[in-house]
Amino acid sequence: MAVDKARVEAAVAEILAAIGEDPGRAGLESTPRRVAEAYREFFAGIGQNPLDHLTDTVAVGEHTGELVLLRNLVFRSICEHHLLPFHGVAHLAYLPGDRVVGLGRLPAVLETLAARPQMQERLTEEIADALQTGLDPQGVLVVLDAVHGCVSARGPRQTGSSTVTLASRGALTDPVARAEIMALIGAGA
């Protein structure tokens, strides 16, 4: 599903007029086009299936190792409540079953799910569900740590705060197993 560039441009021009600005003035004349192009990128994940990134797995039998952990994956998304950005780092871990996937596939899942209007809480759960469904591992742990534009730029304007969300599946719902992974995440931060 592609972003309707013409409709976004018209809507942005209307917003500019609604706040008392002249959308045709020198500094704003290209703004509707720029916003439409940005939205094409911000919302590129709409209509894409994150599981498509997890189809090319490799059977490894009993020799998969104990844990796969990708730390400090940078992401950005758009909050569905205010259409303001939130950005941060993701830490994705799974205990392999009998299959693994190329490491570049995990950030692709993250990017696909983040590139749509989101809430951080739901994004965390959707990533965990995709990894659980696509990889059939023994367990999954997803931790997101993000700064929200709606908290830092408006309202309470808490510029030093971040929000941490966590989702776990399978064997990694165990608090002891999670604590060990959280220590590994912290060791790299």
Q: Which candidate in 14, 29, 80, 121 is catalytic?
A: 80
Catalytic-role residue among 118, 120, 132, 138:
120
Catalytic: 53? no
Which of 37, 48, 150, 180 is catalytic? The answer is: 150
Under 8 Å between Cβ of 142 and 109:
no
**Is position 148 annotated as part of the catalytic site?**
yes
Rg (CA), the chain: 19
- Residue 87 is a catalytic residue: no
Residue 48 annotated as catalytic = no
Whether residue 100 contacts residue 62, with contact meaning beta carbons closer than 8 Å, is answered with no
Catalytic residue among 79, 111, 132, 138: 79
Indicate if 80 belongs to the active site.
yes
Active-site option among 21, 82, 87, 125:
82
CB 45 within 8 A of CB 114: yes
Out of 9, 111, 132, 148, the active site residue is 148
Strands in 9-162 per DSSP E = 57-59, 68-79, 85-95, 99-101, 117-118, 139-148
What tokens were used for 86? Answer: 């939130």
Residues labelled catalytic: 79-82, 120, 148, 150
